[in-house]
């Protein structure tokens, strides 16, 4: 395993040790399921009066953990703890913060199998995607540490004013805002909690973390890594409970100095509006949904296009913000690509995501499962045809969880609302276009602008990169048409309705979002 570096692009050919480590962790975990976990506030385990049982979408008989149903009172306590810890943490030399965060990242790596196994059970991600999410988290944290060092703590000596009789010194420093709120989604529970948390912490902010209710357990296991690394009490606080009550109380708290929210457009936009009701403008980093196109030219390598599109449409059951949910194909290669896509999609094994052969596990919960059925019905009514899929899976183990067929749709009129709506399920619509200009027009005609993929000639790729409205773009990539970004390689973020900051996580410009500038002029 020494030469193997796990990323979403390399995960298709892992060494055997990776499988062995994962299998062992699943076995151990299954014997220890159902424990109760507290919230973590000011370094203390905090219990709420109400609890909730966290069941696995793989098999709903499996109770993974008992979690706390926190409320407004816990929101307030967590904010107060983060506020109290801020002076100490923000004045800790940045080099020391880097050291502690590197320690946390290395603990995450040490626990990769345990965390990956829990992720597969709680999210329903296949094993390589689960291990990938854990490794990505460590790499995002390492990347923030690297940026802090590379920029020398963001302390910059400015020019001296041309004064006569005085000597001026001007220093620009970037300083943390204060208490930072991180609200994360279910689909990448580690990377999208740990990534923003790492950035907020290394820059000197203190934290309140609120995970998605569907993935409260696995995020608690991540928070344990921050605690075990020796990050002081109160610097990282963790609360669990419904978004509509606990989450809303956090957003409405006057104690929050900045927020990073990753999740759906509707919840994010509401948060943006609610957050703006504070006494003054505070930073909001929103990472929202996508409706990502893959464009295929007549000059494309159809084998690459097929494999890349199928991976991106159906990886994690289509529940990636970066999923390829729209496929736009030039007329002359349409029939051939469509038949290849059907064949490739039908080969994907749907089942228990902890098993080696499985590509697709279940979708996250009953409500997504019902959405799948409703969308398929709507597609049928709207004139769409199922090239493959279109039903939920039934019989045997499938009846225990939320399994859906990988679904490719053709002939749905471009005027249908589902060409623009993020379904967040294993459903992709395929459309024929007369030429690439038509494809680009359709591709950009949505509110979203997260990721996009293209397959065509080298000359055409220049045109694609120039015209496409998206923050993460790929050309001719079999590893994934629109998915599989990795920190340090493909910084990740969206344009338009897909993101608010215009600066991508795991990239050059990300850390400064967590700090405000102070210019220090001193006349000697």
The tokens for 79 are: 């904010």
391 touches which of Mg ion, ligand NAP, none (CB within 5 to 8 A by kind)?
A: none
Q: Closest Cα to residue 284, out of 267, 307, 306?
A: 267
Q: Closest Cα to residue 62, out of 217, 201, 167?
A: 217
Question: Where does this chain touch Mg ion (CB under 5 A) — which range of 180-188, 213-221, 280-288, 306-314?
Answer: 213-221
CA distances for 40 relative to 198, 222, 318, 392, angstroms? 17, 12, 32, 38
Question: Where does this chain touch Mg ion (CB under 5 A) — which range of 198-206, 214-222, 314-322, 393-401?
Answer: 214-222
DSSP 505: B
Q: CA angle 169-172-176, nearest 5°?
A: 140
Nearer Cβ to ligand NAP (191/338) = 191
Nearer Cβ to ligand NAP (59/264) = 264
Minimum CB separation from ligand NAP for residue 340, in Å?
Answer: 27
Question: Is there a catalytic annotation at residue 331?
Answer: no
334 touches which of ligand NAP, Mg ion, none (CB within 5 to 8 A by kind)?
A: none
Minimum CB separation from Mg ion for residue 365, in Å?
Answer: 7
> Which member of 22, 26, 54, 323 binds Mg ion (CB under 5 A)?
54
Nearer Cβ to ligand NAP (295/450) = 450
**Active-site residue, selected from the candidate residues 114, 129, 287, 460:** 287
Q: Which stretch of DSSP H or E encloses residue 27?
A: helix 16-31
Question: Is there a catalytic annotation at residue 321?
Answer: yes
Residue 69 near Mg ion by CB under 5 A:
no
d(Cα 46, Cα 28) in Å, to the nearest integer? 26
Give yes or no for a contact between 428 and 311, defined as CB atoms under 8 angstroms apart: no
> Which member of 129, 136, 214, 257 binds Mg ion (CB under 5 A)?
214
Q: Burial code of 103-140, b = ≥16 C-beta within 10 A, e = fewer?
A: bbbebbbebbbbbbbbbbbbbbbbbbbbbbbbbbbbbb
DSSP 159: P
77 touches which of ligand NAP, Mg ion, none (CB within 5 to 8 A by kind)?
A: none
Give yes or no for a contact between 376 and 391, defined as CB atoms under 8 angstroms apart: yes
Q: Which stretch of DSSP H or E encloses residue 183?
A: strand 179-183
The tokens for 86 are: 């801020």
Nearer Cβ to ligand NAP (243/512) = 243
Nearer Cβ to Mg ion (37/492) = 37
183 touches which of ligand NAP, Mg ion, none (CB within 5 to 8 A by kind)?
A: ligand NAP
Minimum CB separation from ligand NAP for residue 276, in Å?
Answer: 14
Give the nearest residue (CB) to Mg ion.
214
Can you say whether the dihedral through the CA atoms of 329, 331, 333, 337 is positive or negative? positive
Question: Where does this chain touch Mg ion (CB under 5 A) — which range of 48-56, 239-247, 291-299, 312-320?
Answer: 48-56
Minimum CB separation from ligand NAP for residue 315, in Å?
Answer: 13
Nearer Cβ to Mg ion (117/300) = 117
Question: Where does this chain touch Mg ion (CB under 5 A) — which range of 40-48, 211-219, 439-447, 494-502?
Answer: 211-219
d(Cα 439, Cα 331) in Å, to the nearest integer? 11
Nearer Cβ to Mg ion (54/257) = 54
The tokens for 245 are: 């009550």
Q: Using CB atoms within 10 Å of the CB of residue 215, give its burial: 0 to 12 exposed, 13 to 18 middle, 19+ buried.
A: buried
Minimum CB separation from ligand NAP for residue 167, in Å?
Answer: 48
Binding site for ligand NAP (CB under 6 A): 183-188, 192, 210-214, 242-244, 247-248, 251, 262-264, 267, 271, 287-290, 321, 422, 424, 450, 494, 498-499
Minimum CB separation from ligand NAP for residue 409, in Å?
Answer: 19
Nearer Cβ to Mg ion (362/390) = 362
184 touches which of Mg ion, ligand NAP, none (CB within 5 to 8 A by kind)?
A: ligand NAP
Which segments within 352-416 are labelled E, that is strand?
385-388, 407-410
54 touches which of ligand NAP, Mg ion, none (CB within 5 to 8 A by kind)?
A: Mg ion
- What is the chain's Cα-based Rg? 23
The tokens for 374 are: 């409703």
Q: Where in the sequence numbering do the catalytic residues fall?
A: 287, 321
Site for Mg ion, rule CB under 5 A: 54, 214
């Amino acid at each position: 395993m020494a030469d193997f570096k796990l990323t979403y692009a390399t995960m298709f050919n892992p060494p055997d040790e990776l499988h062995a480590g994962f299998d062992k962790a699943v076995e151990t975990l299954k014997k220890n399921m159902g424990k109760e976990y507290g919230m973590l506030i000011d370094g203390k385990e905090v219990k709420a009066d109400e609890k909730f049982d966290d069941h696995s979408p793989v098999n709903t008989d499996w109770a993974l953990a008992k979690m706390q149903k926190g409320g407004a009172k816990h929101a307030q306590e967590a904010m107060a703890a983060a506020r109290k810890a801020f002076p100490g943490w923000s004045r800790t030399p940045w080099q020391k913060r880097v050291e502690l965060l590197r320690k946390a990242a290395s603990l995450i790596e040490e626990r990769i199998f345990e965390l990956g196994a829990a992720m597969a059970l709680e999210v329903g991600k296949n094993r390589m995607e689960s291990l990938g999410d854990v490794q990505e988290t460590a790499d995002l944290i390492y990347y923030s540490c690297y940026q802090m060092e590379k920029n020398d703590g963001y302390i910059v000596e400015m020019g001296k004013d041309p004064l006569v009789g005085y000597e001026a010194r001007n220093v620009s420093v970037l300083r943390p805002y204060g208490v930072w709120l991180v609200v994360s989604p279910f689909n990448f529970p580690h990377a999208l909690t740990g990534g923003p948390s790492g950035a907020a912490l290394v820059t000197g902010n203190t934290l309140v973390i609120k995970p998605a209710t569907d993935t409260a357990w696995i995020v608690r296991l991540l928070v344990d890594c921050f605690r075990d690394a020796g990050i002081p009490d109160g610097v990282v606080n963790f609360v669990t409970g419904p978004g509509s009550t606990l989450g809303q109380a956090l957003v409405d708290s006057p104690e929050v100095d900045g927020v990073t929210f990753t999740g759906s457009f509707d919840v994010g936009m509401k948060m943006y509006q609610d957050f703006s009701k504070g006494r003054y403008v505070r930073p909001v980093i929103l990472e929202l949904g996508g409706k990502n196109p893959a464009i295929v030219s007549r000059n494309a390598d159809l084998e690459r296009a097929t494999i890349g599109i199928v991976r991106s449409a159906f990886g994690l059951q289509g529940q990636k913000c970066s999923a390829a949910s729209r496929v736009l194909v030039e007329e002359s290669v349409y029939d051939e690509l469509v038949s290849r896509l059907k064949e490739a999609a039908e080969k994907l094994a749907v089942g228990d995501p902890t098993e080696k052969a499985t590509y697709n596990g279940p979708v996250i919960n009953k409500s997504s499962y019902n959405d799948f059925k409703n969308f398929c019905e709507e597609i049928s009514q709207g004139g769409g045809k199922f090239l493959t899929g279109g039903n939920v899976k039934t019989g045997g183990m499938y009846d225990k969880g939320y399994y859906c067929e990988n679904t490719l749709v053709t002939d749905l009129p471009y005027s249908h609302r589902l060409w623009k709506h993020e379904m967040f399920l294993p459903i992709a619509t395929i459309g024929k276009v007369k030429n690439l200009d038509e494809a680009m027009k359709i591709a950009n005609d949505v509110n979203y602008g997260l990721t996009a993929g293209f397959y065509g000639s080298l000359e055409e790729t220049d045109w694609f990169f120039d015209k496409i409205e998206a923050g993460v773009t790929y050309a001719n990539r079999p590893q994934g048409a629109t998915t599989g970004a990795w920190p340090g390689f493909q910084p990740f973020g969206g344009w338009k309705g897909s993101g608010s900051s215009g600066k991508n996580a795991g990239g050059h410009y990300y850390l400064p979002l967590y700090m405000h500038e102070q210019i220090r002029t001193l006349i000697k």
